[in-house]
Chains A and B, each alone.
Chain A
Amino acid sequence: MELLSNLALGFATALSPSNLFLGFVGCLVGTLIGVLPGVGPIATIAMLMPLTLKVDPTGALIMLAGIYYGAQYGGSTTAILVNMPGEVTAVVTALDGHEMAKQGRAGAALGIAAIGSFFAGTVATLIIAAIGVPLTRLALLFGPAEYFGLMVFGLGLAIVLARGSVLKAVIMVVLGLLLSTVGTDLETGQERLTLGIPELSDGVDFAVLAMGLFGIAEILRNLENPESRNVAIAQIGRLLPTRAELKRCVGPIVRATGIGSVLGILPGNGAVLGPFASYALEKKLAKDPSRFGRGAIEGVAGPEAGNNAGAQTSFIPLLTLGIPPNAVMALMVGAMTIHGLIPGPQVITKYPSLFWGMIASMWIGNLLLLIINLPLIGLWVRLLKVPYRLMFTTILLFCAIGIYSINNNPYDVYFTAFFGLVGYVFIKLGLEPAPMLLGFVLGRLMEEKMRQALALSEGSFMTFVERPVAAVLLVLAAAVILIAVLPAVARSRQKAFQE
C-alpha cells in the first residue's frame, strides 16, 4: 500500500509538465549526442551536465537520468551500426548487433534493443520501488573477497563469450588482464608497465581501448573489403523484428532482466557483468550456439535488456547509500552536489518527492526512449546510406573529438590510433578483441579486490574459503571455466589422437 502511495507521489512529480518536458529533452539530447561515434555515456553526461545547472534539483535529476538513458541507447545504436561500443556494456551488443546490421537487419537489431530495454526498464523500476532499499543492505555484505569471486566468475564468462578457439579466447582474456595492470599501483604508488609515459600513469582509458580495437579496426577492415559494407548499406531491412524473432527474444529478455537487476544493485559495479552474463547464458541455452556472433537476435535482446536493468538498479546504491558504483554514477553525484544535494541514506526521507519522482521518471524515460527511438531508427539507417568514403572520415573526426574531450588530452587520440593498429593486427591474426576487453575491465577490479581482501586478511588466502559467499562464487567460477574449457580440451585431444 505504501508502495502505491509512494509511486503516486512519484508520478505526480515526474508528470508535471515541466519535469516531463525536461525528461523528454534529456532523452532526446542524450540520444543525439550519445549516438556520435567516439562519445560514450560518460562523455555525453559530462558534456551535457552544464545544461542541467539552470533547473531545480528534481528537474535536473530527471533530466540527467534522461540524458543517461538516451546516451546509453545512443551508444548501443553506434555499437550496432558502426561497431563502435562507447562503453563496456555495449561491447556485447556490438557482437551480434553489428553482424545483424551487416546482414541488412540493422532495423530489427535497433528495434529489439529498444523493446528489450523498455521491458527491462519497466521491471527494474518496479524492483527499485518495491525492494530496492532492503536489498541494498544485503548487497553491503559483499566485501572484497566476495567481489573477487564475482570477478573471477565474470572471467569465466569471458571465455564462454568467444566464438572459435578456446585457446585464443583464453589468450585474449589474459592479454586484457595484463593490460589492466598498466598504470600507477594503488597500494604503493609505483608505476607499472607505463614505459615512462606520464599519460599512462592512470592506465589505459577504456573508451580509448574500445574505440581503437573495435571502431578504428572496423574502419580498416571495411576499407579492405568493400563488399562487406556495401551489403549493409544497400539493405535496411524492416524496422521492427518479425513475430518469430520477437518470440525468440522473450526468454532472453526476461532472464537478462533478472540477472541485470540483481547485478546492478551490487555497489561494486556488478552491473558491468549483466550483459556478459546474459550473453553467455543464452549461448549455453541455445540449441545452436554457433549462431551467436553471426547475427543472432537473442544476442542483442538479452544483453541490451540486462544492460538497461543494471543501469537502472545501479541507481539504488547511489540513492540509498550515497555511494556511486561506477564512473557514470560518480558523475551523477557531482551533478547532484552542484545543486547542493548530496546523495546519501537520508535522501528518501528528506526529499521523498525527489526520490520517488526520479524513480517514476525512470519508467517514463524508458517509455520516452521507445517513442523517440522507433521513428529515429529510420533516420539512423538512412544516415548509413552516405557513401562510405565520406562516412568513415566523419566517424573518424567525431571519434577524434570525442576521445580528445574525455581528458582534453591529445595523447588519448594517439593511444586510440595505436589500439586501432593493434585491432587491425588482431583481425589479421584471427584474434577476437571482445574477451580482451572484458579481461581488461574485470582485471582491474579483480586485482583491486584480491589485494584488498589479502590486505584485510593480512595475507591469508584462507579468506576466500572461510567466507561462504566468496567460496561459493569461486566454486561457481571454477565450474564455468571448466565447462568452457573442457570440451575444447577433449576435442583437441581427440584430434591429436587421430593424427
Chain B
Amino acid sequence: MHNVKRLACAAALALFSTASLSQAYPSRPVTIIVPFAAGGPTDIIARITGEYFSKALGQQFVVENVAGAGGTTGITRGAQAKPDGYTIMMGHMGTHGAAPALYKNLKYDPAKDFTPLGLVAGTPILIVARKDFPAANLKEFLAKVKDPAAKVKQAHAGVGSVSFTTCTLLTSQLGAKSIVAAYRGTGPALNDLVGGQVDYMCDQIVNLVEQIKGGSIRAYAIATAERSPALPDVPTTKEAGLPAYQVSAWNALFAPKGMPKDVAAKLNATLVAALDDAATRKRLLDLGSVIPDKAGRSPEALQKLVESEVKRWDPILKAYAQ
C-alpha cells in the first residue's frame, strides 16, 4: 500500500516537474553528453567545465561519453533527450559545423534542433610539418604545397576528424592537391610526421604543443587572430601571409530544443562565471584553448557561429567527396 502511494507520488512529481523545475533546478545530477571517447580534447574540456558547474550549482554534472560516427551518435541522442535541463551536451566544430556536409543521414539540424547555451573554448589549429621540411616560413611552405612537382604529403586523422576538415579547408583555399594519407586518430598520424614519413598536417594545438616545443616537428602558423601564449613564437596565419585561413576547433554547450528559458539562462550564467573563474581559466589556457570574450559567450553568438560554420563547411567538404 505504502509503495503504491510512493509510486503515485513519483508519477505526480514527474508530471509537474516541468512547472516547478525553475526554482529547484538542478535538483538531481545532470548529464553532460560528450560525443567522443574519454581522454580526448573535448572530453577534457567538458570535465573541466563540469567540475565548475558541479561546485557552483550543488549537483553533480556527470560526463557521459557516447562516442561514434564523428560525434554524431552522441549529439543525436542529446538532441532527442527531454529539454528539462538534466541532459546537456558538449558540441563541437565537427558535430555542429561539418557534420551536415559529411553525414547524409544526419538526424539533427545543428541550427534548429538545439537550445544554444554558450561557447566554452576555442582550440586553435596549427599548420605543422616534419622538422626538416625544406621551407623556412609559411610562404615558402605554401609554395611547396601548391607545386605539384614537389609532391608534398599530407597526413590526417581520418575523414571527419578535425585534422581532416581543417586541412581540407587549407588545400581548398590554396587550390592545391596534396598526396594524402589517412590515419586512425592523431597519434599514428603524428607518429609518421615525427618520423618524417609524411610532410605536414593540421591539428589542434593541444595535440601538438609538446612536440613543437621539443623540436620534433615545426609549426608554420596558428590559425587564430592572436598568437597563443602556449606557443608565443609561432606566427598567426595573418602575420605569416595567409589571412583567410582562420579556423578553430571550438567546443560549446548545447541543450535539446525547447528548454525552459530560465533554465537555459541559469546554465549560460554559470558558464559565463566558469570562464571568469581563475582556476578553470588556468586549466583551459594550459590546454592552449582560447577563452571567448564576454560577447562571444552569449547563446545568440553561439547560434550565429553554428549557422556560419555549417554554411562554411558545406561546399568545401562536399567538393572533397567528389
Contacts and interface: CB of A to CB of B under 8 A. Distances in A.
Contacts of A189: 102, 159-160, 321
B27 to A, nearest CB: 23
A456 B159 contact: no
A452 B65 CA distance: 30
Contact of A331 (B39, B47, B151, B194): B39
Given A186-B183, A452-B181, A409 B194 contact: no
Interface in B179-218: 179-185, 187-188, 190-192, 194-198, 206, 209-211, 213-216
A344 B38 contact: no
A322 B210 contact: yes
A321 B194 contact: yes
B210 A344 contact: yes
Interface stretch (A137-145, A291-299, A300-308, A392-400): A137-145
B153 A456 contact: yes
B54 to A, nearest CB: 12
Contact of B197 (A333, A334, A456): A456
Nearest to B159: A189
Most buried by A among B38, B67, B102, B209: B38
Contacts of B215: 345
Interface residues of A, number: 50
Most buried by A among B64, B181, B190, B196: B181
Given A186-B159, A408-B65, A408-B66, A458 B105 contact: no
A159 interface: no
Contacts of B151: 458
A337 B195 CA distance: 23
Interface stretch (A196-204, A247-255, A416-424): A196-204
Most buried by A among B38, B39, B69: B39
B81 interface: no
Contact of A455 (B41, B48, B181, B286): B181
Given A338-B47, A345-B215, A267 B191 contact: yes
B283 A340 contact: yes
Given A186-B158, A456-B181, A142 B195 contact: yes
B287 interface: yes
Interface string B264-302: 000000000000000000010011000000000000000
B142 interface: no
B38 A49 contact: yes
B73 A199 contact: yes
Given A186-B159, A323-B187, A346-B214, A451 B182 contact: yes
A342 B286 CA distance: 9
B197 A448 contact: no
Interface string B70-103: 0001000000000000000000000000000010
Given A323-B187, A338-B47, A455-B180, 12 more contacts: A189-B321, A268-B191, A321-B194, A322-B210, A323-B194, A331-B37, A337-B287, A342-B210, A347-B210, A409-B68, A448-B184, A452-B182
5 contacts: A184-B69, A323-B194, A340-B283, A409-B68, A448-B188
Interface of A: 46, 49, 140-144, 184-189, 198-199, 201-202, 267-268, 317, 321-325, 330-335, 337-338, 340, 342-347, 407-409, 444, 448, 451-452, 455-456, 458
- Please provide the 7 A-B residue pairs with the shortest distance between their CB atoms, ordered closest to farther: A334-B39, A344-B210, A345-B214, A189-B159, A140-B195, A143-B197, A186-B182
